[in-house]
Amino acid sequence: MELYEKTVSTTDIYRGAIIYVHSDEVELADGQHSRREVVEHSGGVTVIPVDTDGSVCCVRQFRYPYGETVLETPAGKLEAGEEPLDCAVRELSEETGLTADEWVYLGRFYPSPGYCREILHAYMARGLHSGAAHPDEGELLAVEKYPLDTLVDMAMSGELIDAKSIIAVLKAKRYIEQEEHN
């Protein structure tokens, strides 16, 4: 049986500042009808900046949905028409002041494909130069520096809890291991 769901109708629920929510009637491959709730979002990037000594600048931010601060690799939303790499360069500079000579694409991914339509892109930045951070207005964050190997341990132990950051850390570590092996 072909795996396909056809849109029968769309009902707009909410057009907010960062999300657009709709509820669609769909026809499944077996002919039955069902509903799908969808949250659309412009998507974004995350950057793991790995310095020559193996240290990584992370940011800690209050994440309102969870009511707690969360340690993350620098990240941000795509602006309208913005290329992911341009967004990565901009967000790294805004949040940490860093610029980079080398950008390695670590791939794109879907954070929660059951109901979200959001695409995230991950990059590793190397050949780093420091500068002044200049966060967006209302964007309050603290920069914290950790060795990459410590972040790998924190990802494995569950201490690093943000999905995009876990992916960036584990992919960067494996990328560097493969590079050293070749």
Q: Kindly state whether residue 58 participates in binding a second copy, applying the rule CB under 8 A.
A: no
Respond yes or no: is residue 159 known to be catalytic.
no
Q: Which is nearer to a second copy, 80 or 129 (CB)?
A: 80
Question: Least distance in Å: CB of 145 to a second copy?
Answer: 17
Contact partners, residue 17, CB within 8 Å, separation at least 6? none
Q: Kindly state whether residue 142 participates in binding a second copy, applying the rule CB under 8 A.
A: yes
Q: Kindly state whether residue 179 participates in binding a second copy, applying the rule CB under 8 A.
A: no
Our CA dihedral for 24, 29, 33, 35, rounded to 10 degrees, sits at -30
Contact partners, residue 108, CB within 8 Å, separation at least 6? 84, 119, 120, 121, 122
**Catalytic residue (one of 137, 144, 179, 180):** 137
DSSP conformational letter for 170: H
CA distance 42 to 75: 13
| Token pair for 4 | 């396909």
Q: Kindly state whether residue 62 participates in binding a second copy, applying the rule CB under 8 A.
A: yes
Footprint (CB under 8 A) of a second copy, residues 2-41: 3-5, 13-14, 16-19, 21, 23-24, 26, 28-30, 32, 34-41
Q: Kindly state whether residue 61 participates in binding a second copy, applying the rule CB under 8 A.
A: yes
Positions annotated as catalytic residues are 137
